[in-house]
């Protein structure tokens, strides 16, 4: 469905009842408005008004009037909870006068792509490896039994997970999301879905849609789909590996090495965007998740991995807003291109075994250890601040500082177990 006329014909041919207009807030949560199919032509022409002050990180009450502008290229069949025949369309957010809203995450990514082109960066495509847990539903997710003996690339040992995964694959195909593979990951009940490479905005659209579809289909088979970065202490966490490759396939161009050098240059600030929760930092540096700023094609857990002619960014997790994560990575890479940054030597051994002094002398920096540290790094990174823009940066920092402060003041179970009898 790439044009307005073809979309209208599809509505008529399929006798669609409802249209779900979706957009994403600054923290990555998907919002939606359902309208009767007959109202879509007007929404395509004029947009659909909504109260931006009610959406996380969008606007103050006095600036609340905003409009959703559907992007017909994103239209796909959609499952309506009521059973109605429906389609889904992802929207851009504009102000009442039609000016694009600077805090719209999708717009932030589109702006980063344009800036990269102006910097001389060739077009890139982005592929995603999305890791998650399918946990048997219980009254408390933390009490879900971890009784799955399967591990990395093993076949599901029970019928129900297999059926759920087949349903997920079919639903993703219906939503127009190209899936490369699905396989079991290293922890009990943990799986990975690999999405095909797409242009940056389309790739982020696909990631957002994939999470919705996975959650929906998992629930139908009595599973909770969890994208939490580190839900269990003794098992690997879940990442969102993003692979960047030149759209023209020319991986030998010097600009491509400078792109990677830029991502490494801004790695510590990028963590605030790519790893935006308190829990994210319990995954980084443990069980095949990167803990240091380095690239390699040998190290088991590099920050950047050279693979298949592209650069696999292994730090992000699925708590990130994919629009912001991809936008900031592209901005960092473009900064490397503009400044012609040299790519450091690859990492061939394990900095985890080095002393702090040796890591300092060899210029291998650790990633931030907490969300607070990452936010401090973001506040020092002018390149990433420019990529986000003043509005998004201010609201993002406010929300995440509050999140850290609440966590820091909360007394946790571990503390009571350790200290209650002192």
pLDDT of residue 291: 93
Domains of the chain: 4-96 (3.10.20.70), 110-413 (3.30.590.10)
Distance CA 141, CA 226 (A): 9
What string of DSSP letters covers 202-242? HHHHHHHHHHHHHHHHHHHTTEEEE--S---TTS----EEE
Distance CA 303, CA 359 (A): 15
Divide the 422 residues of the chain into consecutive groups of 10 and give the mean pLDDT of each group: 68 81 94 90 90 70 76 89 86 91 94 93 94 84 73 76 92 93 92 96 97 95 94 94 89 84 97 98 90 87 88 96 98 95 87 84 91 98 97 95 96 93 91
pLDDT digits (tens, 9 = 90+) for 232-279: 999 999 999 999 999 887 767 788 999 999 999 999 999 999 999 999
CA angle 342-343-347, nearest 5°? 150
pLDDT of residue 399: 94
pLDDT of residue 268: 98
pLDDT of residue 51: 82
pTM: 0.94
pLDDT of residue 1: 45
DSSP 416: H
What string of DSSP letters covers 88-138? EEEEEEE-TTSPBPTT-HHHHHHHHHHHHHHTTPPPEEEEEEEEEEEEEP-
Query: 44 near 70, Cβ under 8 Å?
Result: yes
pLDDT of residue 2: 54
Residue indicated by tokens 């939490």: 228
């Amino acid at each position: 469905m790439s044009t307005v006329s073809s979309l209208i014909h599809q509505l008529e041919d399929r006798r669609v009842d409802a249209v779900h207009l979706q957009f994403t807030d600054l923290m990555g949560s998907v919002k939606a408005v359902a309208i009767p199919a007959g109202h879509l032509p007007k929404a395509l022409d004029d947009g659909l008004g909504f109260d931006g002050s009610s959406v996380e990180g969008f606007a103050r009450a006095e600036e609340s009037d905003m409009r959703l502008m559907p992007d017909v290229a994103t239209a796909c069949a959609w499952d309506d909870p009521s059973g109605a025949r429906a389609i889904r369309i992802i929207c851009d957010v504009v102000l009442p006068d039609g000016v694009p809203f600077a805090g719209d995450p999708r717009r932030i990514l589109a702006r980063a792509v344009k800036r990269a082109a102006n910097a001389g960066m060739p077009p890139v495509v982005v592929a995603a490896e999305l890791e998650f847990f399918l946990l048997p539903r219980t009254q408390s997710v933390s009490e879900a039994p971890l009784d799955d003996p399967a591990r990395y690339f093993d076949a599901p040992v029970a019928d129900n997970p297999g059926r759920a995964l087949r349903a997920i694959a079919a639903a993703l195909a219906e939503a127009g999301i190209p899936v490369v593979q699905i396989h079991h990951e290293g922890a009990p009940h943990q799986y990975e879905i690999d999405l095909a490479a797409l242009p940056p905005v389309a790739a982020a659209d696909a990631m957002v849609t994939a999470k919705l579809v996975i959650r929906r289909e998992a629930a139908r088979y009595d599973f909770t789909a969890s994208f939490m970065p580190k839900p269990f202490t003794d098992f690997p966490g879940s990442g969102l590996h993003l692979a960047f490759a030149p759209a023209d396939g020319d991986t030998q161009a010097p600009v491509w090495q400078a792109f990677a050098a830029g991502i490494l240059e801004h790695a510590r600030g990028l963590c605030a965007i790519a790893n935006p929760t308190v829990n994210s930092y319990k995954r980084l540096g443990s069980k095949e998740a990167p803990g240091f700023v380095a690239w390699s094609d040998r190290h088991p857990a590099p920050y950047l991995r050279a693979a298949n002619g592209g650069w696999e960014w292994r730090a992000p997790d699925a708590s990130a807003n994919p629009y912001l994560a991809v936008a900031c990575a592209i901005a960092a890479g473009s900064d490397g291109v503009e400044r012609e940054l040299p790519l450091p030597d690859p990492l061939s051994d394990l900095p985890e075994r080095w002393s702090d002094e040796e890591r300092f002398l060899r210029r291998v920096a650790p990633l931030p250890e907490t969300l607070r540290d990452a936010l401090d790094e973001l506040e020092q990174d002018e390149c990433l601040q420019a990529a986000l823009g003043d509005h998004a940066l201010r609201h993002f920092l406010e929300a995440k500082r509050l999140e850290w402060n609440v966590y820091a003041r909360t007394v946790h179970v571990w503390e009571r177990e350790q200290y209650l009898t002192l």
